[in-house]
Amino acid sequence: MAKRQLYNLGEIARRFGGDLIGDAATRISQVASLESATAFDISFVSHPRFLSELAKTKAGAVIVGAHDRDATALPRIICANPYAYFARVSALLNPPAAVEAGVHKTAVVERGAKIADSASIGAGAYIGKKANIGPGASIGAGTFIGDGTTIGAETLLYANVSVYHGCTIGKRCIVHSGAVIGADGFGLAHDNGVWLKIPQIGGVVIGNDVEVGANTTIDRGALHDTVIEDGVKMDNQIQIAHNVKIGANTAIAACVGIAGSATIGRNCAIGGAAMLRGHIVIADNVSISAGTLVQKEILEPGEYTGVYPFTTFRRWVRNAAHLQELDELVKRVRRLERGLESKKGGTS
């Protein structure tokens, strides 16, 4: 294991900004939680509920917001967003492993494939005909790259990823193990009791700086491409159906399902296990809570929630039964209101 590089607090502040209070020579080698940090670690406080832990931490330094600048005597960096600052420091202290350029002797590279000299192709990987692997890209062991597919510079595909033919993945992306990109969308036509398969002739186009979680699937388009724009972050076990478009810098948590031809805006956040119907449009800057079922368009930014409240099973059954009668109850209330209005009119 390579020796970890040390930075002093002043170097970190000069690199990422913020106000430094305390000894700028404080040496930092790693990030850690307030509870587990030691003298060479830096931690952070993003919420007042962690102030009690701040009082007990053994960290060498901390990152805090302006409202907590006087909450500790430790060397500290004051910034607007401690959590984001912590993320940048963590990336500095934990850089990705250097790519070892070359093609493993057990890899299969078909004719016409182009592999940059600085790229890495792992053991048992398959690179299809006329595929293009960019500079500094890393293709993990057992990964499949289909014919005519392009993998951008410095993109990392972990072991056992499958990218079908005719797909494009941009620069600096991360695709985790088990992900499948470019499989057929669920395109079927019903005819006299028989389902007819519709050939899926589009592809998948993924922009730059996208992360795709483990066992996530992104289907190819039926007629035109499925598109994932720059900066999208996807958790594990997500299903993206054919012809979906996801706008830049949207984040999607685990187990979300997005049906075909849905369009998701930019800078959205979709909570775990949310389900989105096909052929709908979600505006930019929309936040959808975990477990929400979205069956119609959302055309205004904001936070949307459709989760049925948690309760005991017996109470849930009773409430569900009442909900089934809600439409009839509304009709009865309207009839009563009309009757009351009629009586008022008769006495005036």
pLDDT on residue 5 = 84
1: confidence class by pLDDT, cuts 50, 70, 90 = very low
Q: Would you name the residues annotated as active-site residues? A: 242
Across 172-181, 291-300, 324-333, least confident range: 324-333
Residue 289 in contact with residue 272, Cβ under 8 Å?
no
Q: How far is it, in rounded angstroms, from Cα 41 to Cα 192? A: 67
pLDDT on residue 347 = 61
Identify the CA nearest to 244 among candidates 272, 225, 217. 225
pLDDT on residue 156 = 98
Q: What is the mean pLDDT of the chain?
A: 95
Burial class (CB in 10 A: 0-12, 13-18, 19+), 159: middle
Give the tens place of pLDDT for each residue, 121-167. 999 999 999 999 999 999 999 999 999 999 999 999 999 999 999 99
CB atoms within 10 A of CB 207: 19
Q: Which residues contact 241 (CB under 8 A, 6 or more apart)?
A: 185, 186, 219, 226, 257, 258, 259, 260, 261, 262, 278
Give the tens place of pLDDT for each residue, 280-292. 999 999 999 999 9
pLDDT on residue 309 = 81
Q: What is the CATH number of domain 7-93?
A: 3.40.1390.10
pLDDT on residue 344 = 76
Q: Give the mean pLDDT of 244-251.
A: 98
Give the tens place of pLDDT for each residue, 49-83. 889 999 999 999 999 999 999 999 999 999 999 99
Residue 346 has pLDDT above 80, yes or no: no
Across 12-26, 95-109, 311-325, least confident range: 311-325
pLDDT on residue 264 = 98
Give the tens place of pLDDT for each residue, 314-329. 998 998 899 889 999 9
3: confidence class by pLDDT, cuts 50, 70, 90 = low
CA trace torsion 47, 50, 54, 55 (10° rounding): 120
Q: Give the mean pLDDT of 178-205.
A: 97
Percent of the chain at pLDDT exceeding 70: 98
DSSP 298: B
Hey, what long-range contacts does 45-49 have (CB within 8 A, 24 or more apart)? 45/71, 45/82, 46/82, 46/83, 46/86
User: May I ask the CATH class of domain 102-304?
Assistant: mainly beta
- Domain range summary for the chain, segments of one domain joined by +: 7-93, 102-304, 313-347
Identify the CA nearest to 47 among candidates 21, 65, 62, 34. 65
Q: Of residues 235 and 344, which shows the higher confidence score? A: 235
